[in-house]
Amino acid sequence: MAASDSPANASPLTIGLIGPVGTWIGRILLILALAIWVGPLYWLVNTALKVKVQIQSAAPVWFPDPITLENIEWVLDNLDQGAFFRSLRVVSISVGIAMFFGPLMAYALSRFKTRWNGQLENWIISTRMTPPAAMIMPYYFLALHTGLMNNELGLIIVYVAINLPLAVWIMLAFLRSMPDDAEEAALIDGCGVWQAFFLIVLPTLKQSIISGGLLVLILAWNEFFIAFVLMSSNITFPVQVGSFLAVGLNPEYGHMAAAGLLLSLPPILIAVLFRKSLLTGVHAFSGGK
């Protein structure tokens, strides 16, 4: 590269122009990205708060006037409370099991070295990356032949199988970023391996367990496809919300939007209130240290 083309020889005027231009390009791209992400959510809220005439208007109504809660009230009156509490039980138990065994499995993989550790880790993450549609037939036949169709226990087992690899992967990232000096000191003082884990490592993993649990909780709460197939009669909350889409020849878009809004509120609140913990978990899942 010629000396005149090197960054060091670039004129101050060129460098001064690149800075502001790059900043404005970044801002424009950020605004576009936010519009793509926030736009559907805004239209969901907008539709849920509009009267039927405004929803069916040929011209889009960007701001509901007057604001109405009729759609939300209709959904609350017609929503199956059993589906909501069924989802609450299934998600809570499956997330609890995943976050109990996740740190134990991750600690074993990170501290007990064998020739098969790499293969085990690849297999664990591959099970999480497999599309649910590819595994639904095995899940369906296993549930059918074990009597777990339309059974909360069967759905809990499937959710644990799906979410446990994610919990293990997040814990592995945290454990590998931790120095093992305190563990070695505990072992020298006479502690066993698992005593060192419960007394030294587990308290240190508190933040990672919280972030991993929140991430797994959001994914389990939003899951629709597997619950739709395995729980055809004892439906979960997302499946109940999906049932509002089939309303005949005159679809009630306001009711659909209100149902979707109610389903979205718990994950959105979790993401807003615990955003730092979630970012930590996502960073660990991507392999960050």
Predicted pLDDT at 172: 83
What does the pLDDT read at residue 18?
58
Would you state the pLDDT for residue 289?
A: 47
Nearest Cα neighbor of 262 from 80, 9, 137 is: 80
Check whether 14 has a pLDDT greater than 60: no
Mean pLDDT of the chain: 80
Q: Is 70 exceeded by the pLDDT of residue 5? A: no
For the record, the structure tokens of 111 come out as 């501290």
Q: Is the pLDDT of residue 32 over 50?
A: yes
pTM of the model: 0.77
pLDDT confidence bin for 89, thresholds 50/70/90: very high
**Rounded distance between C-alpha atoms, residue 265 and residue 246, angstroms:** 22
Residue 1 in this model has a pLDDT that exceeds 50 = no
Q: Which two tokens stand for residue 1?
A: 């590269």
Confidence at residue 286, expressed as pLDDT on a 0 to 100 scale: 56
The answer to whether 200 and 179 are in contact (CB under 8 A) is no
What is the pLDDT, as a whole number, of residue 213?
A: 85
DSSP state letters, the chain: --GGGSGGGS-HHHHHHHHHHHHHHHHHHHHHHHHHHHHHHHHHHHHHTS-HHHHT-SS--SS-SS---HHHHHHHHHS-HHHHHHHHHHHHHHHHHHHHHHHHHHHHHHHS--TTHHHHHHHHHHHHHS-HHHHHHHHHHHHHHTT-TT-HHHHHHHHHHHHHHHHHHHHHHHHHTS--HHHHHHHHTT--HHHHIIIIIHHHTHHHHHHHHHHHHHHHHH--HHHHHH-SSS--HHHHHHHTT--TTS--HHHHHHHHHHHHHHHHHHHHHTHHHHHHHHHHHTT--
Domains and CATH numbers, the chain: 3-69 (no CATH), 73-285 (1.10.3720.10)
